[in-house]
Structures are given as structure tokens and as C-alpha cells.
């Protein structure tokens, strides 16, 4: 799934860029497009590709990817971060996450204390009232 729209000009420029790379990089870059979204099989994190690293004597081509909260809504508390050394075979193309607009909590919130000196607010949460109407 493409996470970013790609113009024809960008697509052609990327194809040209791939053609100029060493064979090992070219093969991986043609298969793993940076405008597509991937999932790391071993962790389940959705990632975008940032760069390709040439193989050395010990390793094949590896990738640097970015884990971003926009693509991992279950981890909205993280900041984007890079991960190096990802093997292409540990990635699988995936869909964009489903984002729900449903509230996570349907009760009521009441501010019970404001401590302006300490900069804290105490909030009590009450569960939603049960629906007593007949179905």
C-alpha cells in the first residue's frame, strides 16, 4: 500500500536512481519502494524505508526504516525513530492502519482539583450511565 502519492515524474526518477545503483542494491530497491508501507514481520511495527545499505562480507543488503506513530496508532505515544540493519526478507507490504474515530472512553470527566503551583489537575472519571430503555 502506498503511504504517499507518487507522481509520474517521481516514479521515473526513482527508476533512474535504481538503475544507477550496484546490482545488489538495485534488486532490493526495485522490490522495496520507499513510498510503500511495510510491516516488520518479527515485531509487527509498520515502517517506511529510509535507505538501503550495501552488503559486506557478512551481510546482504540491509535497510534503514522509520517507525512512525502515524502508521502505528496503537503506539501513539512514540516519537518517530529509525531502525538500522533490517533484512529485506523481514519486511512484508501492508495496508495503512485503520483509524477509528470512536472515543476510547464514554464516561464523564470531572475536574476535582487544580494545583496551579504544582501544575497538576486531578480528574475523576465516571463510567457511562447504563441504558435502561427497553430494546
- Could you report the per-residue pLDDT of 21-35, keeping only the tens digit for each? 999 999 999 999 888
Q: Of 58-62, 85-89, 114-118, which one has max mean pLDDT?
A: 85-89
pTM: 0.68
Distance, CA of 21 to CA of 33 (rounded, Å) = 14
| Alpha helices, H only, 34-125 | none
Coil, helix or strand for 126? strand
Mean pLDDT for the chain? 80
Q: Name the strand (E) or helix (H) holding 14.
A: helix 8-19
pLDDT tens digits, 77-101: 778 889 999 999 999 999 888 766 5
CA–CA distances in Å: residue 21 to residues 15, 28, 52, 56? 10, 10, 10, 15
Go through the chain and tell me how many residues it has.
135
Rounded CA-CA distance 69/75 in Å is: 6
Measuring CA to CA, which residue among 35, 28, 32 is closest to residue 7? 35
The three three-digit cell numbers of residue 20, written as one number:
544507477
Element spanning 24, H or E: helix 23-31
Amino acid at each position: 500500500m502506498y503511504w504517499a502519492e507518487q507522481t509520474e515524474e517521481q516514479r521515473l526518477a526513482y527508476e533512474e536512481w535504481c538503475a544507477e545503483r550496484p546490482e545488489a542494491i538495485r534488486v532490493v530497491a526495485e522490490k522495496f519502494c520507499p513510498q510503500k508501507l511495510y510491516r516488520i514481520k518479527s515485531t509487527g511495527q509498520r515502517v517506511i524505508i529510509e535507505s538501503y545499505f550495501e552488503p559486506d562480507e557478512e551481510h546482504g543488503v540491509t535497510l534503514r526504516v522509520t517507525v512512525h506513530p502515524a502508521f502505528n496508532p496503537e503506539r501513539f505515544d512514540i516519537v518517530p525513530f529509525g531502525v538500522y540493519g533490517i533484512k529485506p526478507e523481514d519486511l512484508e507490504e501492508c495496508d495503512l492502519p485503520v483509524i477509528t474515530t470512536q472515543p476510547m472512553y464514554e464516561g464523564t470527566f470531572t475536574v476535582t482539583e487544580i494545583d496551579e503551583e504544582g501544575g497538576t489537575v486531578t480528574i475523576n472519571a465516571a463510567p457511562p450511565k447504563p441504558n435502561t430503555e427497553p430494546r
